Chain A
Amino acid sequence: MSLVKERYSSKKPYLASLSRRDAIKWIGALSVTAAFPGLTACSSQALAPQSQLAKGHWPQLDLPVINATGYGKDPNLIIAPRASWPRTLTAAQLTFIAVLADIVAPREGAAPSASEVKVPDLLDEWVSAPYEQQQQDRVSFLHLLAWLDEEARRRFDNLFVDVRASQQLAIIDDIAYKKAMQSEEFVRSAKAFADFRRLVLACFFCSPAGVKDIGYLGNVPIVGDYPGPSDEAMTHLQSVLDELGLTL
């Protein structure tokens, strides 16, 4: 299946769009195959008994503090700075995010997948940024990845990116739906996945292909007066008004 062939894994890493300096760093990290080698090794050794797992496991990562500076209060708005802070995700984490982002937003007909529009790079920029919201997301997302690896090891004895697509989806099915929010076992992973999902969609729909996919038609100059709603839009509005018993 072509879908399986295209999938990212430890052996088929996601290739980030990197600056030359970052690329050297990245090559150095290539030998690391797992997103969290130390952690996964540790947790596979000390697999918790079933009773404890019923309440749900959640990794405890000790993440280094991001102490970069931001782009400041007077950045160049015309040539936007895209490298104000160093990227922090490893090659394995980027591949992990590519796998996960493509589950959220896969290729669909003419619309590319999340990884095809470089969503993992945007997420690297995002989680590496020295701002409050981004730092919260970083903690949440990296714990989600670690949890998914723990879960893949527990269920299928491999890294998440290296288990079969159906096995990946078996795990995601447990955390991607609203019912997971009511489950003690999955509530933390479900919340983290929900935040990750929203951001992946945002990145995707901001991309030129995503703008087309969602159907945003603005940001083009209009000569003369603003034309207002199309005939089709007004016809639709009229049907809405009729349905609601309203008149203009």
Chain B
Amino acid sequence: MMEGQINGHDYDVIVVGSGAGGAMAAYTLTKSGRKVLMLEAGRDYDPKTETPMFKSNFDAPLLGAGNSDKDFGFYDATVDGGWEVPGEPYTKGEGSEFLWWRARMLGGRTNHWGRYSLRFSEHDFKGFSRDGLGADWPFEYWDLAPWYDETEALVGICGTNTGLDDMPDSPEGVLQPPPKPRVPELLVSAAAKKLGIPTAPMHRAVLTRPKDDRQACFYATPCGRGCSIGAAFQTTTSLIPMAQATGLLTVITDAMVKEVNVDEKGKVNALTYIDKKTKQAHRLDAKVIILAASACESARILLNSKSESHPNGLANSSGHVGRNIMDSTGVSYGAHIPALEGRPKYNEDGHTANHLFIPWWGHKMQEKKAMAFPRGYHFEIGSGFRAPSSWVSGDLDGYGKPLKEITKQAYGSYVGLALRGEMLPNDDCYMEIDEDVKDQWGIPVVKFHWKWSQHELKQVEHGLKTARQILETMGAKFDKPLPKAEDAILKGGQIIHEVGSTRMGDSPTESVTNQWGQTWDCSNLFVMDAGVFASNPHKNCTLTIMTLAMRNSTWLARQLDKGEL
């Protein structure tokens, strides 16, 4: 894109970011006739030509194993990112551990995400009202429900209605049929049932029926690589091309936004970005700006946008920008299941992730204050006859034929339960700008502070005990005691569900945006990524990011119609 041709005034809205929030905002606005300019900090990316479909680990360097260049393995879709981005560091406060996953590519992290797409429940939006912790959302589930319906229909979600309080039903005909469960999942289901714990078909943003230009899943090649046929949802095969088809979307890649600029009255009127190819800074006039650069990147832009009228950073009169950061809790516990050794082989790839999972079953008990921790979790099930990789499981001993026999018997006999739980915000978990460190573009970097509270540790302790019970019911034997929660819990950021850094609310002193993602301080500045989450229910954030972006950019379009902005 030639920068010389770009005049910000030609666009109704500038969207920063092309992931779940940015792409949905751009799609919604262009569909309602608005001209949109999208800035993406990473390179252009086309899943149709770049996805390593069907490639085997044998064809990859190091059997596809992960390393500091490709943290999630050679074939992971993430471009120019991962836990570290060269030239774009982040720092951590003393005693804090935090990991920040970034992708520098069109479509952002939607190119490789797990596609788990569970609605938040009625109770999820009103946690503070229930237990006095964290914050309520500034609306109710039923305000959002019609937008979940539309988002699910647009994105394409497979799954079923279960009637469980942890999984609100979708209207008839919205969900696509889920794939049949596999053997280890059925065994987990039977064991959980004996313990009074439910299992349910996972909801995933994977097509089991064709839709628009996207094909149905053919049940091969892991979704984390991206999906050249568009079955596994990513914005680069759906929302972005659909928005481009309107003729109203312009995309500039390699555009790293540095700050949002204001006029002498403090009103947002421009933004400044660095063209990564030329290293030149450009200023674009702007009528309305939507930040959707990811929760922590959007908060970083705001904190770096200091001016006389906004001395603590833009939209930060509340002091809440960068605070209230939450990730999901995470811990994994697994075992070899002797009864699954040497079981009959069949193609167990399926849609390459959970067909069944364990939703949270303890909400009613928590409502009665009958549990030692206030918020819920779910278990994802890891199992199956997987493509051979750089790791071989089994209790290996000896060599030669007997050794190979151990490996073959153990193949497909491991079952792991991965907990994903709700975290509460606390004063020790926040980000600020590290004034001493700048990235290679001259932009001051983020400094993270992190500490789990007892709420998370008690939840993880409960999860570990429960996982062990389920695995023991399946016949697993353990000779070691359970690890302590504080040792087993994964690091902050490691589940890549960071939210809350620009939270929404009813009060300009307790939140950064109103319920529409519109910042309290600047009427023409919006946030439409997970930064606006008031809480972080355990159900994976992406579906709700997209739903909020659709709802809030629809509202934004109406304000433009009314001449309100």
Contact = CB atoms under 8 A, between A and B. Distances in A.
B217 to A, nearest CB: 8
A46 interface: no
Given A177-B398, A215-B345, A246-B191, A71 B474 contact: no
Contacts of A241: 187, 190
B399 A104 contact: yes
B220 A218 contact: yes
Contacts of A248: 186, 189-190, 193
B475 interface: yes
A23 B21 CA distance: 52
A248 B404 CA distance: 33
Given A74-B79, A225-B177, A232-B344, A131 B56 contact: no
Interface stretch (B67-75, B147-155, B297-305, B357-365): B67-75
B411 A215 contact: yes
A77 B349 contact: no
A36 B221 CA distance: 43
B404 A230 contact: no
A217 B189 CA distance: 24
A219 B220 contact: yes
Main secondary structure of the interface of B (DSSP, over half): loop
A202 B390 contact: yes
A247 B186 CA distance: 10
Contacts of A219: 54, 56, 220-221, 349, 387
B478 interface: no
B187 A198 contact: no
Nearest to A169: B399
B397 A216 contact: no
B183 interface: yes
A133 B475 CA distance: 33
Nearest to A219: B220
A227 B386 CA distance: 17
Interface in A55-84: 70-75, 77-78, 80-82, 84
A126 B59 CA distance: 14
B347 A80 contact: no
B388 A208 contact: no
A236 interface: yes
Given A80-B59, A105-B404, A207-B58, A233 B473 contact: no
A219 B58 CA distance: 13
Interface residues of B, number: 81
Contact of B392 (A172, A202, A240): A202
Interface string B43-71: 10000011110111111111101011110
B79 A229 contact: no
A77 B219 contact: no
A248 B180 CA distance: 14
B50 A78 contact: yes
Given A197-B403, A218-B349, A222-B220, A228 B52 contact: no
B479 to A, nearest CB: 13
A73 B346 contact: no
A71 B57 contact: no
A248 to B, nearest CB: 5
Contact of B339 (A194, A226, A244): A244
B385 A211 contact: no
A203 B391 CA distance: 9
Interface string B374-402: 00000000000111111110001111110
Contact of A201 (B81, B181, B193, B403): B403
A198 B63 CA distance: 13
B552 interface: no
A210 B388 contact: yes
Interface of A: 70-75, 77-78, 80-82, 84, 103-106, 108, 122, 125-126, 129, 131-134, 172, 176-178, 194, 197-199, 201-203, 205-208, 210-211, 213-223, 225-230, 232-234, 236-237, 240-241, 243-248
20 contacts: A78-B50, A80-B55, A81-B61, A129-B67, A133-B67, A201-B404, A202-B389, A202-B390, A206-B57, A208-B58, A217-B385, A218-B347, A219-B54, A220-B220, A222-B347, A225-B208, A228-B181, A232-B346, A241-B187, A246-B191
